[in-house]
C-alpha cells in the first residue's frame, strides 16, 4: 500500500507553490483584503488600475509623473565657465523607461531607416493611401502629401520615367487592349478568403465599352506573384485584417453595405484604384467590425440609427413610395386622418377613433398674489367677552398689535402675550390678567372703571347698530371713535407727552400725523382730527388710523410718564430675534480695580481671548494665519435667542461646588472691608435660613447666567485667600458650616417661596420679592466675577435653575428701581405675561402661605431698615466713583454691583451668623 | 532717525531735518487739525490722521495725498504703519482701531478692532502685534501670530503705550500720573514710575534707545526720565512752561525730540554726531 501510494504521488503533477504547512498553535493567516492588494511594475513602482478605456494602467505616479512629489525640478546651474545650455525637452523626457523599451510607445531599438530601406515603393501602402485620399473628408489631400514628401526614387525608376514610363503602367510595348473581361458571377458572395489585391486588378473596368481602334495602351502593370511560403495554420489564402486597409480604406458605411447590396461590390476587390470609386470598396470575407487599430469608430454610431430601419411590417401601399408631398389630392386625403391622430396602436374591436377630439381641459392659472402677501395665517385676537376690562384689553391688544403701523410689517414680537399664548395653544393662566390696571393706583382704577361703564352704556347701542364688534378692521365712524376715546382718555390726555415716545417711528409721516393728532387732542379740538389724516387715504384707512392713534395715545399715556425714565433705547433691533453676542466679554472690572489698587497686576488684570485676525491682515503682516480654517474675524461671536431664558443660563455645575464658590465670595467680601452688623438680624432663625438658601440658589442660577456671557476668569481665589488670611479661625469655622449647609434644600421650599411672590398681589409681596431680589442680584454680580469655567453639566439642576431665574424675572416686574437696574442689564425686558402663569400651579399649598404671610410682616420691618442703609451706602459709593471718568455700559454695572455689594454683606452673612448663635 | 514729522492744528504736516532745523516739506490736505502722523520704514510714505476722521497716506516726495481712508466715526488719535508699510493702523475716539490696506484700493478697512469700550489713545505695532491703549483703562495687545487678544486692565485712562525695544515689555502711561511697565506675556507689573503730572492731556511716553530709561512728557513743562530697573527718577528736563505734548526718542542714538507749545526741541549731548 505504501509503495503504491508513493508511486501515485510520483505520477501527480503539481501546479503552483504549495501552502506552507501550518505549525501548531499558529493561526491561519488572513488573506490580504482586496483593497490592500497592490500592483507593482518591474521597477517596483505602484501602479493603479484604471478602466480599460484609459489603457489599463495609469501613467506615472498616480497619474502624475515620476515621483511622489510629481515633477522633480532639476537644479539650474550656470557659471561663467560652464554656461547652462538650454535644454529643449522632448516627449521622451517625460516618459518612463519602459515606454522607451522594445514594446513601449516609443521603442528605441535599432531599426533600418528609410535611407537603407529598399527603394521599391510599398504599393499596398500607397494604394491604401490613395483610397484614403478619396474617402477622406477633403478628397485629394493625400496627393499633396506626395508632392511635399521627399522623392526617394531609385535609379531604375528614374530611368524608366525618362523612357516614358508612368507609374501604374506596366512595362513593355504598348498593346491594344482586349475587351475580354471576365466578370465574376455577381450572385456569388465570397466570404472567408479574399483575393489578393494584386490579382483582382483585372476585375475592373467601366470605360471599356467604347475603345477607339487605333489607340494603344501601355501594358497592365503586373504585380509580381509573391511566393511567400505558407507557414501558418490559417486557411489557404487567408489574410488577416490588413491594418492599412482597416485604417484608411473602410468606414462604417461599407460595413453596412456588406449586407445590403453586397453582390456588386464583392466582385470589386481592391483593384487599380485610380479609376474605381472608393465608396464601393468593401471588405469581403474578412473580419469586419471596428478593429482595435481602427481610429474612427464614431462613424458607426453616427450613421446607424434605428430610424433607418422599418419597425413595422406592413403591406406596401401601392402609391406609397411614389408620391412625396406632391401626391395627388385623393391620395393625400386618404392618408390624412391617420396622420392627425398619430395613433399607432391597434384599435380594439367595437371601438373606433373619435371623429371629434374632446374639448381641451381648461386650465385656470393660480391667482397672482399681492406683492406684500405673507403666507402666514393670521389669528384674530379673540377677546374674552365679559371680561372686566374688556375695552382696555382690547385697546392693549390692538395697540400692541398695530403699533408697528402696518399689519403686513408686524413681526411676531408685536403680538402680545395673550396672542402668543393663543398661537401656541397654551391654556390661559389662572393668575391675574396682566393689565395696566394693576399698575395704576387704586383711585385711577376706580375712575377708569366708572368712565368705562358710562361709555359702555352709551356706545353699546351704537356698536350694535353699526358694526359687529368682532370685526377688527371695521373702522368706527370718526365721530363715534373720537367720542369713545375721549371718554376713555378723559382729561388725562393732557400729559400725554408724545415728544419722546414714537409709536410710529417706522413711518415718519404717520408719526407726524400722530403727533399732530395728539396735540389737537390735547387742545380738545374734535373735528380737527380729520384734518391731520392723510387726504390721499381712503375713508376706511383714515378711520382705522384714527382709531389707532387713539389707542396709541391712550396706551402710552399710561406707561409713558412712569416708565420712560426707566428704559433706554433698545440696543438691538426689535424684530431681530437673534442677537450676536460676543462669546467672551471682558468681565467685571470690579475686582480688577481692587487688584490694581493692590498693584497685583498679572493674572488678575489680564483677560485673554481668542481673537481671529483677518486673513489679509495676516498676509500683510507676513504672519501665518493662526486660525487658517475659521471664517470668523475678530472675537468669536455666538448667536443667541434674544428673549430666551437660556441666554442667562448654562448647564450648571454640580451645585455644591458653586455654592462653595459663592460662600467663598461671601467670606471674601466679608473679610475684605465690611464690618458685620449683627443688630439687623433679629428675625426668627428658621425663616432666615430658608430665605438664605433661596437667595443663594437664585444667585447661583443668575451667576451662571452671567458667567455664561463671560470668559473664564483666572482664579480670583488667590486674592480672596490672600485677604482672608488675617481673619483666621472665624472664617475657617464658617467654612465648615458652609460646607455642611451647601447641600440643596428640598424643592418644596423653593416652590413655596416662589409661589408666594407671584401669588400675592398686594404691595407686601412686592416688597418681599423686592427684598429677596436685592441680595440675590448683588450676590450674583459679585459672584460672576468669581466664577471659573462653568460649562459643567448636570441635567438635574437645569430645571431648577430655570425656575429660579424665571422667578427673578417675576420679581423684577414690580418697579423698584434697584431691581430695574439689575434686570436691565439682563438684556431685553421679559414679556410681562411670562411671569405669572408658571408658578401658579403650586398655589394650592396652603400651609406654606401661612408661613409666608408671617414672614411678610417681619420682612416689612426689615425692609424699612434696609432702605435707609442702602441710601447711605449708595451715597458713599457714588462719592467713590465720582472722580472717575464716565464710562460706558460697564461702569453702570459696576456702580450697581458695588451698591449691591454693600447689601450683600448684610444678607449674605446671615447663615453663618445664625449658625453661630 | 534723521527726519522729524510734526503735525498740528494748522491742518498740515511738516517734515523737518531736526539736526539742521530746516523744514523740508509741508503736506497740506487734511480738513481739520492733524492729530498724529507716522512715517514708513523706507521714508517714502507718511500716514496721518486727524480730526477730519480721515486717515491719509502721503507720498513724501510729491507731497500729495496718495489715499484717504474714511471710516472712523471720530477723531483719529493715532496712526501707525506696520513694518513693511503695507498696513496703516489707526485708533480713534470712536473706540475702534482700524487696519487699512495700503496695497489694494479697498476703501474699507481690512479689519476693525472694536473691543475697546472707549476711545483709543495710542496704537503701536510690532512685527506681529498691535498694541492699543484705550481710555477705558485697558491695554490691549492683539497678537496676530497666536491669534490672541490680551487685555490688561490698568484702571485709569491710558494715554500712551509703547513696546520696549526688546519686545518683552509694554510701557503704558495713564492719566493717574503713572507709567507702568508690564510684562508682555504675563501682564505682570515690572515697574511703576511716578513723579510727573499727567491728568488731562494725551501725553507720550518713550523708552530710550537702550531700554535703560523710561521717559514721559508731563504737564508741568518737564520731561521726566526714570531708570527702568530701579524706578528712580533719573532726570527731569525742563523744556518749557506749558504742557509737553509729545516726545520721541531716536531709535538708535541718545537723542530726544520734544514738542511743546508749538515748538519742537531737540535734545542731545554735545558730542552727538548725527548719522
pLDDT tens digits, one per residue of A89-141: 777 777 767 677 777 777 776 766 655 554 445 566 666 666 665 555 555 55
Which of B128, B144, B182 is opposite residue A601, by nearest beta carbon?
Answer: B182
3-state secondary structure string across A246-301: HHHHCCHHHHHHHHHCHHHHHHCCCCCCCCCCHHHCCCCCCCCCCCCCCCCCHHHH
Question: Hey, where are the domains in chain A?
Answer: 37-108, 478-560, 586-637
Which of B99, B152, B192 is opposite residue A605, by nearest beta carbon?
Answer: B152
Chain A residues inside the 8 Å CB shell of B155: 589, 592-593, 596-597
CA dist., res. A850 & res. A200, Å (int): 128
pLDDT tens digits, one per residue of B108-160: 888 888 888 888 888 988 888 889 988 888 888 888 888 888 888 888 888 88
| Cell 405673507, residue located | A374
Concatenating the DSSP letter of every residue in A126-177 gives HHHHHHHHHHSSSTTHHHHHHHHSPP---HHHHHHHHTT--TTB-SSS-BPP
Sign for the pseudo-dihedral over CA of A722, A726, A727, A728:
positive
- The C-alpha of B156 sits at a distance from chain A's nearest C-alpha, in angstroms, of 8
Cα end-to-end distance, chain A, whole Å: 109
pLDDT tens digits, one per residue of A481-527: 445 455 444 444 444 444 445 666 667 777 777 777 777 766 665 55
- The C-alpha of A427 sits at a distance from chain B's nearest C-alpha, in angstroms, of 45
Q: Which residues contact B11 (CB under 8 A, 6 or more apart)?
A: B28, B30, B31, B32, B33, B34, B50
CA dist., res. A765 & res. A438, Å (int): 14
Q: Which residue of B has its CA nearest to A887?
A: B136
Q: How confident is the model at residue A639 (pLDDT cuts 50, 70, 90)?
A: low
Q: Name the DSSP class of A13.
A: -
List the single range of A296-305, A332-341, A496-505, A547-556 with lowest mean pLDDT. A332-341
3-state secondary structure string across A795-833: HHHHHHHHHHHHHHHHHHCCCCHHHHHHHHCCCCCCCCH
Average pLDDT over residues A685-711: 47
Cα→Cα distances A535→A513, A519, A525, A541, Å? 11, 19, 19, 10
Chain B residues inside the 8 Å CB shell of A602: 183, 186-189
Inter-chain touch A620–B138, beta carbons under 8 Å? no
Count of residues making up chain B: 275
Q: Is the pLDDT of residue A680 over 50?
A: no
Inter-chain touch B101–A605, beta carbons under 8 Å? no
Percent of chain B clearing pLDDT 90 (strictly above): 0
Q: Which residue of B has its CA nearest to A621?
A: B128
CA dist., res. A654 & res. A648, Å (int): 17
3-state secondary structure string across A561-600: HHHCCCCCCCCCCCCCCEEEEECCCCCCCHHHHHHHHCCC
Instruction: Give pLDDT, residue A585.
Output: 55
Which of B144, B149, B152 is opposite residue A623, by nearest beta carbon?
Answer: B144
Q: How confident is the model at residue A573 (pLDDT cuts 50, 70, 90)?
A: very low
Q: Which residues contact B254 (CB under 8 A, 6 or more apart)?
A: B208, B209, B268, B269, B272
Q: Is the pLDDT of residue A312 over 80?
A: no
CA dist., res. A799 & res. A793, Å (int): 12
Cα→Cα distances A288→A192, A248, A253, A291, A641, Å? 11, 14, 12, 8, 75
Q: Is the pLDDT of residue B253 over 60?
A: yes
Which of A586, A614, A620 is opposite residue B82, by nearest beta carbon?
Answer: A620
Q: And the C-alpha cell for A175? A: 498593346
CA dist., res. B67 & res. B70, Å (int): 10
Of the candidates A87, A63, A65, A61, which has an alpha carbon nearest to the alpha carbon of residue A75? A87
pLDDT tens digits, one per residue of A332-364: 444 444 444 455 566 777 777 777 777 777 888
Inter-chain touch A616–B117, beta carbons under 8 Å? no
Average pLDDT over residues A238-266: 49
Q: Is the pLDDT of residue A582 over 80?
A: no
Q: Are B14 and B30 in contact (CB under 8 A)?
A: no
Buried b (16+ CB within 10 A) or exposed e, A542-576: bbbbbbbbbbbbbbbbbebeeeeeeeeeeeeeeee
pLDDT tens digits, one per residue of A781-825: 444 444 434 444 444 443 444 444 444 444 444 434 444 344 344
Q: And the C-alpha cell for A706? A: 452671567
Concatenating the DSSP letter of every residue in chain B gives ---EEEE-TTSEEEEEETTTTEEEEEEE--SS-EEEEEE-TTSSEEEEEETTSEEEEEETTT--EEEEEE--SS-EEEEEE-TTSSEEEEEETTS-EEEEESSS--SS-SEEE---SS-EEEEEE-SSEEEEEETTSEEEEEETTTTEEEEEE-SSPEEEEEE-TTSSEEEEEETTTEEEEEETTT--EEEEEE-S--SSS---EEE-TTSSEEEEE-TTSEEEEEETTT--EEEEEE--SS-EEEEEE-SSSSEEEEEETTEEEEEE-TT----
Q: And the C-alpha cell for A741? A: 449647609
ipTM value: 0.83
The answer to whether residue A873 neighbours chain B at the CB level (below 8 Å) is no
Q: How confident is the model at residue A164 (pLDDT cuts 50, 70, 90)?
A: confident
Give phi and psi for A8, each to the nearest 5. Answer: -60, -45
Of the candidates A798, A795, A797, A831, which has an alpha carbon nearest to the alpha carbon of residue A812? A831
Q: Is the pLDDT of residue A883 over 80?
A: no
Q: Which residues contact A182 (CB under 8 A, 6 or more apart)?
A: A202
Q: How confident is the model at residue B260 (pLDDT cuts 50, 70, 90)?
A: confident
Helix, strand, or coil here: A241? coil
Inter-chain touch A608–B137, beta carbons under 8 Å? no
Inter-chain touch A617–B87, beta carbons under 8 Å? yes
Question: Is A499 exposed, middle or buried (CB count within 10 Å of its CB: 0-12, 13-18, 19+)?
Answer: exposed
Inter-chain touch A620–B110, beta carbons under 8 Å? yes
Instruction: Give pLDDT, residue A722.
Output: 38
Q: Is the pLDDT of residue A675 over 80?
A: no
Q: Name the DSSP class of A245.
A: I
Inter-chain touch B150–A606, beta carbons under 8 Å? yes
Inter-chain touch A599–B135, beta carbons under 8 Å? no
The answer to whether residue A887 neighbours chain B at the CB level (below 8 Å) is yes
3-state secondary structure string across A341-354: HCCCCCCCCCCCCC
pLDDT tens digits, one per residue of A583-619: 555 555 666 677 776 667 767 777 788 888 888 888 8
Q: To which H or E segment does residue A608 belong?
A: strand A606-610
pLDDT tens digits, one per residue of A728-738: 444 444 444 44
- What is the number of CB-based contacts under 8 A between chain A and chain B? 125
Looking at every residue in chain B, the average pLDDT score rounds to 84
Inter-chain touch B144–A605, beta carbons under 8 Å? no
Q: Are B149 and A609 in contact (CB under 8 A)?
A: yes
Which of A603, A607, A626 is opposite residue B146, by nearest beta carbon?
Answer: A626
Q: Name the DSSP class of A770.
A: H
Instruction: Give pLDDT, residue A462.
Output: 55
Q: Residue A96, Cβ neighbours under 10 Å: how many?
A: 17
Instruction: Classify A170 in phi/psi space as left (phi over 0), alpha (psi -120 to 50) or beta.
Output: beta
Q: Which residue of B has its CA nearest to A582?
A: B115
CA dist., res. A302 & res. A644, Å (int): 68
Looking at every residue in chain A, the average pLDDT score rounds to 56
Q: Residue A621, Cβ neighbours under 10 Å: how many?
A: 23
pLDDT tens digits, one per residue of B62-95: 888 888 888 888 888 899 888 888 889 999 888 8
Inter-chain touch B111–A596, beta carbons under 8 Å? no
Which residue blocks in A598-681 are alpha helix, DSSP H?
615-620, 655-673
Is A295 or A41 the better-scoring residue by pLDDT? A41
Amino acid at each position: 500500500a505504501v509503495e503504491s501510494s508513493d508511486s501515485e504521488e510520483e505520477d501527480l503533477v503539481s501546479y503552483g507553490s504549495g501552502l506552507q504547512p501550518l505549525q501548531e498553535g499558529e493561526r491561519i493567516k488572513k488573506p490580504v483584503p482586496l483593497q490592500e492588494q497592490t500592483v507593482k511594475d518591474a521597477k517596483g513602482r505602484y501602479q493603479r488600475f484604471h478602466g480599460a478605456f484609459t489603457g489599463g494602467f495609469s501613467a506615472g505616479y498616480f497619474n502624475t509623473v515620476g515621483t511622489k512629489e510629481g515633477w522633480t525640478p532639476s537644479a539650474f546651474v550656470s557659471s561663467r565657465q560652464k554656461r547652462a545650455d538650454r535644454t529643449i525637452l522632448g516627449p521622451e523626457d517625460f516618459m518612463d523607461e519602459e515606454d522607451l523599451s522594445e514594446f513601449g510607445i516609443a521603442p528605441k531599438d535599432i531599426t533600418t531607416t528609410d535611407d537603407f530601406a529598399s527603394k521599391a515603393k510599398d504599393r499596398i501602402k500607397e494604394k491604401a493611401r490613395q483610397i484614403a485620399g478619396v474617402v477622406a473628408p477633403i478628397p485629394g489631400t493625400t496627393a499633396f502629401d506626395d508632392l511635399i514628401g521627399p522623392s526617394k526614387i531609385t535609379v531604375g525608376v528614374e530611368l524608366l520615367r525618362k523612357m516614358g514610363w508612368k507609374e501604374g503602367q506596366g512595362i513593355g510595348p504598348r498593346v491594344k487592349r482586349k475587351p475580354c473581361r471576365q466578370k465574376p458571377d455577381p450572385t456569388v458572395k465570397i466570404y472567408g478568403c479574399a483575393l489578393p489585391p494584386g490579382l483582382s486588378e483585372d476585375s475592373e473596368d467601366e470605360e471599356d465599352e467604347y475603345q477607339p481602334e487605333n489607340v494603344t495602351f501601355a501594358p497592365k502593370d503586373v504585380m509580381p506573384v509573391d511566393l511567400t511560403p505558407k507557414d501558418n495554420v490559417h486557411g489557404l489564402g487567408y489574410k488577416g485584417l490588413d491594418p492599412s486597409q482597416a485604417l484608411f480604406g473602410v468606414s462604417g458605411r461599407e460595413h453596412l453595405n456588406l449586407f445590403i447590396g453586397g453582390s456588386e461590390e464583392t466582385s470589386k476587390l481592391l483593384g487599380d484604384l485610380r479609376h474605381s470609386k472608393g465608396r464601393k470598396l468593401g471588405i469581403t470575407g474578412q473580419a469586419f467590425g471596428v478593429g482595435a487599430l481602427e481610429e474612427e469608430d464614431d462613424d458607426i454610431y453616427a450613421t446607424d440609427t434605428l430610424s433607418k430601419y422599418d419597425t413595422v411590417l406592413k403591406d406596401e401601399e401601392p402609391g406609397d413610395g411614389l408620391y412625396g408631398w406632391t401626391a395627388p389630392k385623393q391620395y393625400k386625403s386618404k392618408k390624412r386622418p391617420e396622420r392627425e391622430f398619430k395613433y399607432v396602436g391597434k384599435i380594439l374591436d367595437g371601438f373606433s377613433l373619435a371623429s371629434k377630439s374632446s374639448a381641451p381641459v381648461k386650465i385656470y392659472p393660480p391667482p397672482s398674489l399681492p406683492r406684500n402677501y405673507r403666507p402666514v395665517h393670521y389669528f384674530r385676537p379673540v377677546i374674552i367677552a365679559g371680561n372686566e376690562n374688556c375695552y382696555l384689553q382690547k385697546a392693549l391688544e390692538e395697540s400692541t398689535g398695530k403699533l408697528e403701523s402696518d399689519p403686513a410689517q408686524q413681526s411676531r414680537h408685536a403680538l402680545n402675550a395673550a396672542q402668543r399664548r393663543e398661537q401656541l395653544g397654551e391654556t390661559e393662566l389662572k393668575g391675574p390678567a396682566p393689565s395696566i390696571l394693576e399698575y395704576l393706583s387704586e383711585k385711577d382704577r376706580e375712575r377708569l372703571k366708572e368712565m368705562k361703564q358710562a361709555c359702555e352704556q352709551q356706545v353699546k347701542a351704537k356698536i350694535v347698530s353699526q358694526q359687529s364688534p368682532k370685526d377688527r378692521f371695521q373702522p368706527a365712524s370718526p365721530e363715534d371713535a373720537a367720542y369713545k376715546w375721549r371718554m376713555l382718555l378723559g382729561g388725562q390726555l393732557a400729559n400725554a407727552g408724545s415728544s419722546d415716545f414714537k409709536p410710529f417711528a417706522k413711518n415718519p409721516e404717520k408719526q407726524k400725523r400722530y403727533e399732530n393728532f395728539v396735540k389737537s387732542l390735547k387742545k380738545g379740538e374734535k373735528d380737527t382730527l380729520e384734518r391731520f389724516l392723510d387726504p390721499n387715504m381712503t375713508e376706511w384707512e383714515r378711520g382705522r388710523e384714527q382709531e389707532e392713534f387713539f389707542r396709541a395715545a391712550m396706551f402710552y399715556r399710561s406707561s409713558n410718564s412712569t416708565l420712560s425714565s426707566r428704559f433706554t433705547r433698545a440696543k438691538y433691533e426689535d424684530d431681530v430675534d437673534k442677537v450676536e453676542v460676543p462669546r467672551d466679554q471682558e468681565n467685571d472690572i470690579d475686582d480688577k480695580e481692587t487688584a490694581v489698587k493692590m498693584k497685583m497686576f498679572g493674572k488678575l488684570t489680564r483677560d485673554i481671548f481668542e481673537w481671529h485676525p483677518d486673513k489679509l491682515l495676516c498676509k500683510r503682516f507676513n504672519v501665518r494665519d493662526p486660525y487658517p480654517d475659521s471664517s470668523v474675524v475678530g472675537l468669536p461671536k455666538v448667536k443667541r435667542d434674544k428673549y430666551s431664558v437660556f441666554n442667562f443660563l448654562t448647564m450648571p455645575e454640580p451645585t455644591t461646588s458653586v455654592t462653595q464658590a459663592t460662600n467663598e465670595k461671601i467670606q471674601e467680601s466679608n473679610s475684605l472691608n465690611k464690618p458685620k452688623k449683627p443688630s439687623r438680624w433679629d428675625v426668627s432663625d428658621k425663616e432666615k435660613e430658608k430665605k438664605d438658601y433661596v437667595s443663594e440658589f437664585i444667585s447661583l442660577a443668575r451667576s451662571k447666567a452671567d458667567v455664561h456671557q463671560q470668559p473664564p476668569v483666572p482664579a480670583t481665589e488667590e486674592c480672596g485667600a490672600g485677604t482672608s488670611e488675617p481673619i483666621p479661625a472665624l472664617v475657617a469655622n464658617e467654612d465648615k458650616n458652609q460646607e455642611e449647609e451647601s447641600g440643596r434644600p428640598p424643592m418644596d421650599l423653593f416652590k413655596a417661596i416662589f409661589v408666594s411672590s407671584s401669588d400675592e398681589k398686594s404691595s407686601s409681596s412686592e416688597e418681599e420679592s423686592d427684598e429677596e431680589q436685592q441680595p440675590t442680584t448683588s450676590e450674583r454680580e459679585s459672584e460672576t466675577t468669581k466664577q471659573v469655567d462653568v460649562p459643567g453639566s448636570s441635567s438635574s439642576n437645569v430645571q431648577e435653575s430655570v425656575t429660579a431665574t424665571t422667578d427673578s424675572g417675576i420679581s423684577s416686574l414690580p418697579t423698584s428701581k434697584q431691581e430695574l437696574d439689575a434686570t436691565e442689564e439682563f438684556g431685553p425686558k421679559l414679556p410681562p405675561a411670562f411671569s405669572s402663569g408658571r408658578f401658579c400651579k403650586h398655589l394650592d399649598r396652603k400651609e406654606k402661605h401661612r408661613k409666608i404671610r408671617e414672614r411678610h410682616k417681619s420682612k416689612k420691618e426689615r425692609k424699612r431698615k434696609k432702605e435707609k442703609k442702602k441710601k447711605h451706602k449708595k451715597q458713599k459709593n457714588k462719592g467713590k466713583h465720582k472722580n472717575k471718568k464716565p464710562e460706558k455700559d460697564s461702569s453702570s454695572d459696576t456702580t450697581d454691583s458695588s451698591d449691591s455689594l454693600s447689601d450683600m454683606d448684610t444678607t449674605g452673612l446671615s447663615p453663618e451668623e445664625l449658625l453661630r448663635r | 532717525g534723521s527726519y522729524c514729522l510734526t503735525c498740528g492744528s494748522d491742518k498740515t504736516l511738516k517734515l523737518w531735518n531736526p539736526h539742521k532745523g530746516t523744514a523740508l516739506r509741508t503736506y497740506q490736505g487734511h480738513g481739520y487739525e492733524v492729530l498724529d502722523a507716522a512715517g514708513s520704514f523706507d521714508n517714502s510714505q507718511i500716514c496721518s490722521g486727524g480730526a477730519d476722521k480721515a486717515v491719509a497716506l502721503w507720498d513724501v516726495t510729491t507731497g500729495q495725498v496718495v489715499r484717504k481712508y474714511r471710516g472712523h466715526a471720530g477723531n483719529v488719535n493715532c496712526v501707525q504703519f506696520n513694518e513693511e508699510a503695507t498696513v496703516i493702523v489707526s485708533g480713534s475716539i470712536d473706540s475702534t482701531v482700524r487696519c487699512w490696506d495700503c496695497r489694494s484700493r479697498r476703501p474699507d478697512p481690512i479689519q476693525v478692532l472694536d473691543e475697546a469700550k472707549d476711545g483709543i489713545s495710542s496704537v503701536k505695532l510690532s512685527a506681529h502685534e498691535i498694541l492699543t491703549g484705550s481710555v477705558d483703562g485697558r491695554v490691549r495687545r492683539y497678537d496676530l501670530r497666536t491669534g490672541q487678544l490680551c487685555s490688561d486692565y490698568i484702571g485709569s485712562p491710558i494715554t500712551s503705550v509703547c513696546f520696549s525695544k526688546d519686545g518683552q515689555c509694554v510701557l503704558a502711561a495713564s492719566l493717574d500720573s503713572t507709567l507702568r511697565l508690564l510684562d508682555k506675556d504675563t501682564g505682570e507689573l515690572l515697574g511703576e514710575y511716578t513723579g510727573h503730572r499727567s491728568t488731562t492731556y494725551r501725553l507720550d511716553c518713550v523708552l530710550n534707545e537702550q531700554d535703560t530709561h523710561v521717559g514721559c512728557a508731563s504737564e508741568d513743562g518737564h520731561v521726566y526720565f526714570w531708570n527702568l530697573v530701579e524706578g528712580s527718577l533719573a532726570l527731569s528736563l525742563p523744556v518749557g512752561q506749558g504742557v509737553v505734548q509729545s516726545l520721541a526718542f531716536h531709535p538708535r542714538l541718545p537723542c530726544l525730540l520734544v514738542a511743546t507749545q508749538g515748538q519742537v526741541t531737540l535734545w542731545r549731548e554735545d558730542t552727538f554726531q548725527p548719522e
